[in-house]
């Protein structure tokens, strides 16, 4: 690549990124603020049955939900099993890394517990009845979502100073409510929990050990992800088109002959095949590698350039070295939590007939990490700090 090529490539890449970001950002601004939707009745529909723990008495009157689990109690049934597992893993990770007990509770409505006023005193009473957080640090966090009240609260332990209320408000407004307004509760809870963890620790779940650069990109991708899938299309389409354009430009650009300096000419696909050997022709046929043949019109110098298809299912053959090796996997015995499993890999080269099989051990299915064995809270208390939001 010459310096000129590099400059053009850089310019194209910068334009494409700028265009993609501008489109995504502009569209994001357009949809970011929607008016409040009219609230649904604060009564749960009849026949609502999600598994519930025994209720606890509320010192202020009525009752409080009990808990079956210290991480997620989805009594309003807003989360599917996969989301519940992801959120639980994030909260276990938070506890394992920081000792902070954070818990998510969804309920159909406050009236199910004989509570008809604002959500705040209910959340404080619940926080203290459960004893969320370390009893000395009072660093617990409760996320309470009341579906049919269209109301939520993040209640935080008394160890957080009052400046944390505004930070929790930001998390509610930007993390939870945008999806809640579309009745996308699962998406809202997943985003909101991640944002809460980020606000508290400065790290998104699973990035506690990442460097600044990785964290920065993680943040950018999360912001883009929050724009919604169709907006991703607006960002991704010009990126993909630009990538294709750039690759095509670099591949097709005229190049001087290394012998005499005359500009060489690229030969067509049929002409290519005359100059490729059997293995190379098979690679082109299997689409694992693409070849361009360039010929000098002046001195007959010829270059064969090789472009690997990174998405091809064919690997390199250890015998003939062409990318004509297929691999198939067969599970002979599935792994369980108590025993390892076994799978067989079969390699076949379409070019030279090389054949091999290999047995591999599948590791035991791991049980969740240490934090998951916790079965009760640490005895923390709240004096009413946190933030609330309606949608």
Q: Report how far residue 166's alpha carbon sits from residue 75's, in angstroms, rounded to the nearest whole number.
A: 28
Interface region with Zn ion, contact rule CB under 5 A, candidates 122-130, 148-156, 257-265, 372-380: 257-265
Looking at the Cβ atoms of 5 and 259, the one nearer to Zn ion is 259
Looking at the Cβ atoms of 27 and 320, the one nearer to Zn ion is 320
Looking at the Cβ atoms of 305 and 365, the one nearer to Zn ion is 305
- Exactly one of 255, 319, 343, 374 binds Zn ion (CB under 5 A); that residue is 319
> Which helix (H) or strand (E) is 130 found in, with range?
helix 119-130
> Taking CB under 5 A as the rule, does residue 299 contact Zn ion?
yes
3-state secondary structure of 291: strand
Phi, psi for residue 384 in degrees, rounded to 5: 105, 10
Looking at the Cβ atoms of 88 and 351, the one nearer to Zn ion is 351
Looking at the Cβ atoms of 271 and 365, the one nearer to Zn ion is 271
Could you count the other beta carbons within 10 Å of the beta carbon of residue 79?
20
> Taking CB under 5 A as the rule, does residue 351 contact Zn ion?
yes
Question: 347 Cβ partners below 8 Å, 6+ apart?
Answer: 325, 326, 327, 354, 355, 356, 357, 358
- CA neighbor of 168 nearest in space, from 391, 385, 382, 390: 385
Interface region with Zn ion, contact rule CB under 5 A, candidates 163-171, 207-215, 329-337, 343-351: 343-351
> Taking CB under 5 A as the rule, does residue 141 contact Zn ion?
no
> Taking CB under 5 A as the rule, does residue 259 contact Zn ion?
yes
Looking at the Cβ atoms of 7 and 287, the one nearer to Zn ion is 287
> Taking CB under 5 A as the rule, does residue 291 contact Zn ion?
no
Interface region with Zn ion, contact rule CB under 5 A, candidates 36-44, 163-171, 194-202, 252-260: 252-260
In the complex, the smallest distance separating the C-beta of residue 296 from Zn ion, rounded to whole angstroms, is 3
Looking at the Cβ atoms of 312 and 342, the one nearer to Zn ion is 312
- CA neighbor of 238 nearest in space, from 64, 27, 71: 27
Interface region with Zn ion, contact rule CB under 5 A, candidates 119-127, 152-160, 181-189, 353-361: 353-361
In the complex, the smallest distance separating the C-beta of residue 326 from Zn ion, rounded to whole angstroms, is 11
Question: 289 Cβ partners below 8 Å, 6+ apart?
Answer: 280, 283, 306, 307, 308, 309, 312, 323
Q: Report how far residue 138's alpha carbon sits from residue 151's, in angstroms, rounded to the nearest whole number.
A: 25
The alpha carbon of 19 is separated from its chain's Cα centroid by a whole number of angstroms, namely 24
In the complex, the smallest distance separating the C-beta of residue 351 from Zn ion, rounded to whole angstroms, is 5
Looking at the Cβ atoms of 321 and 383, the one nearer to Zn ion is 321
What is the full DSSP assignment across 143-192? EEEETTTTEEEEEE-TTS-THHHHHHHHHIIIIIHHHHTTT-HHHHHHHH
Pairing of strands 102-107, 72-74: parallel
Q: Report how far residue 188's alpha carbon sits from residue 180's, in angstroms, rounded to the nearest whole number.
A: 6
- Exactly one of 260, 302, 331, 365 binds Zn ion (CB under 5 A); that residue is 260
> Taking CB under 5 A as the rule, does residue 296 contact Zn ion?
yes
> Taking CB under 5 A as the rule, does residue 354 contact Zn ion?
yes
Interface region with Zn ion, contact rule CB under 5 A, candidates 35-43, 158-166, 170-178, 341-349: 341-349
In the complex, the smallest distance separating the C-beta of residue 348 from Zn ion, rounded to whole angstroms, is 9
- Exactly one of 9, 68, 320, 362 binds Zn ion (CB under 5 A); that residue is 320
Q: Report how far residue 199's alpha carbon sits from residue 343's, in angstroms, rounded to the nearest whole number.
A: 43
- Exactly one of 255, 301, 343, 374 binds Zn ion (CB under 5 A); that residue is 301
- Exactly one of 100, 123, 172, 349 binds Zn ion (CB under 5 A); that residue is 349
Counting DSSP H helices and E strands in the chain, the numbers are 10, 13
3-state secondary structure of 92: helix
What is the full DSSP assignment across 208-221? TT--HHHHHHHHHH
Q: Report how far residue 200's alpha carbon sits from residue 143's, in angstroms, rounded to the nearest whole number.
A: 13
Question: 305 Cβ partners below 8 Å, 6+ apart?
Answer: 251, 291, 292, 293, 294
Looking at the Cβ atoms of 276 and 320, the one nearer to Zn ion is 320
Q: How many residues bind Zn ion (CB under 5 A)?
A: 15
Looking at the Cβ atoms of 171 and 257, the one nearer to Zn ion is 257
Interface residue list for Zn ion (CB under 5 A)? 257, 259-260, 262, 296, 298-299, 301, 317, 319-320, 349, 351-352, 354
């Amino acid at each position: 690549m010459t310096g000129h090529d590099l400059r053009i490539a850089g310019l194209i890449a910068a334009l494409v990124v700028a265009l993609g970001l501008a489109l995504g950002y502009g569209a994001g601004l357009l949809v970011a603020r929607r008016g409040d939707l009219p609230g649904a009745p604060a009564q749960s529909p009849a026949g609502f049955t999600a598994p519930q723990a025994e209720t606890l008495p509320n010192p202020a009157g009525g009752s409080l939900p009990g808990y079956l689990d210290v991480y997620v109690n989805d009594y309003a049934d807003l989360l599917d099993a996969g989301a519940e597992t992801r959120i639980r893993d994030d909260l276990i990770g938070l506890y394992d890394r920081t000792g902070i007990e954070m818990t998510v509770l969804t309920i159909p409505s406050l009236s199910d517990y004989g509570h008809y006023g604002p959500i705040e005193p209910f959340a404080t009473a619940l926080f203290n009845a459960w004893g969320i957080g370390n009893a000395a640090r009072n660093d617990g966090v409760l996320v309470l979502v009341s579906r049919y009240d269209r109301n939520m609260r993040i209640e935080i332990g008394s160890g957080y100073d009052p400046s944390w209320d505004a930070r929790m408000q930001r998390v509610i407004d930007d993390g939870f409510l945008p999806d809640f307004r579309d009745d996308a509760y699962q998406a809202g809870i997943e985003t909101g929990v991640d944002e809460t963890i980020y606000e508290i620790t400065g790290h998104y779940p699973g990035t506690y050990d990442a460097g600044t650069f990785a964290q920065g990109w993680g943040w950018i991708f999360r912001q883009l992800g929050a724009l919604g899938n169709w907006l991703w299309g607006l960002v991704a389409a010009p990126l993909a088109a630009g990538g294709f354009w750039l690759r095509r430009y670099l591949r097709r650009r005229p190049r001087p002959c290394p012998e005499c300096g005359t500009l060489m000419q690229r030969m067509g696909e049929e002409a290519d095949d005359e100059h490729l050997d059997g293995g190379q022709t098979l690679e082109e046929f299997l689409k694992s590698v693409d070849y361009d043949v360039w010929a000098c019109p002046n001195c007959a110098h010829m270059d064969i350039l090789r472009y690997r298809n990174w998405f091809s299912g064919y690997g390199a053959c250890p015998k003939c070295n062409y990318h004509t090796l297929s691999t198939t996997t067969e599970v002979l015995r599935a792994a369980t939590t108590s025993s390892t499993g076994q799978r067989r890999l079969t390699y076949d080269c379409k070019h030279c007939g090389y054949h091999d099989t290999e047995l591999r051990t599948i590791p035991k299915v791991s049980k969740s990490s240490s934090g998951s064995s916790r079965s009760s809270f640490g005895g923390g208390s709240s004096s009413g700090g946190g933030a609330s939001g309606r949608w």
